[in-house]
Amino acid sequence: MGFGDNNIEGASSSTHFGSDGFLQNLDTDPILMNQSHNDSNNGLDLCKKLSKMGISCDPVDFGFRTSLHGRTYSWSEQNVSGASPMNDSSARQSFLQNTSHGVSHEDHVILMAKDQVGSKVLQKLLEEGTFLDIKVIFFEIINHVVELSVDPFGNYLVQKLLHVCDEEMRTSIMTVLTSNPMDLIEISCNNYGTRVVQKMIETVKTKQQIAMVKLGLEPGRLALVTDLKGNHVIQTCLKSLGPNHNKFVLEAVTKYCFAIASDQYGCCVVQCCISNSVGAQRERLIDEISRNSLYLSQDPYGNFVVQFLIEKNVSSAKLLKQLSRS
């Protein structure tokens, strides 16, 4: 399944998520209309900020969107957020080719987010702008979060937004990312998407958000622990959510201990489980590792798990008993 085919991306540009996680229509919801896209003064304010950063912007065509003169981006000779100079002709030409005539208003922001320099501009606005600036960018990209999460440059914008947004916005972003567990697993295993999912986990604060992470990842936990990129998502859960919320990971690792511990990436997850578990659940995991220690100690990857237990001085008697059988 391609990420560009996700039905979220295909949603109407006037469709947005409310605080309850349900879709709302911008054309019929007076609150959304007043808060965002129909406020031309706010659009003008954001255009002024973009102009200072080297992007000329037409507030009439913009509304609350980054629509530029002639429907293209116009770069000035200056730096943006430490980026290479804007007079780099190849970079400017590449960007202008990607933002050709006839592109819809909302697509301008998405195209900008997918460009190396354009993404840095939007990240700078999120970092140094007002809460209103954050809200503008949020409404522009919320229906494209999945698409941007797996983009080489768009993923940085989603990460930055997760870091600076309020809890209501963060919950809406998480609703999009976790609503389809199979999509979430694919994103977690993607070179760029894994960074977004890890940032999402690191920034969760409410019980609702934690529950969304657990429900979204649980169906694919076994696939993730042995994946090159996905294992880092599981390790982030273990480090960020705390023992009380990692039961869904610890139970799976304990049940399939030998198979996971003898895997190239799974052995790292097992070690992380030992370091981030407590009480009876931790003891069950250690008992299972000890029971398989004779075979794991001879495995190219499992031996690292046994060494880890020895270095941590964990259950030495059980290990010696099993190893002495050899």
- pLDDT category of residue 42 using cuts at 50, 70 and 90: low
The answer to whether the CB of 292 falls within 8 A of the CB of 257 is: yes
Question: In what helix (H) or strand (E) does residue 167 lie, and over which residues does it extend?
Answer: helix 167-178
Q: Taking the CB of residue 178, how many other CB atoms lie within 10 A of it? A: 21
Q: Which two tokens stand for residue 318?
A: 């059980």
CB 227 within 8 A of CB 207: no
The per-residue pLDDT for range 75-116, each reduced to its tens digit, is 333 344 444 333 444 544 444 444 444 445 457 889 999 999
97 burial level (CB within 10 Å; 0-12, 13-18, 19+): exposed
pLDDT tens readout for residues 221-277 = 999 999 999 999 999 999 999 888 999 999 999 999 999 999 999 999 999 999 999
Cα(163)–Cα(307) distance, rounded to whole angstroms?
A: 37
| Pair 28, 35: CB distance under 8 Å | no
Joined tokens for residue 234? 């599981």
Q: What gap in Å lies between CA 36 and CA 206, rounded to an integer?
A: 26
Cα 299 from Cα 211, distance rounded (Å): 36
Lowest mean pLDDT among 159-163, 164-168, 305-309, 317-321: 317-321
Full DSSP string of 221-242: HHHHHTSTTHHHHHHHHHHHT-
Per domain, the residue ranges of the chain are 1-166
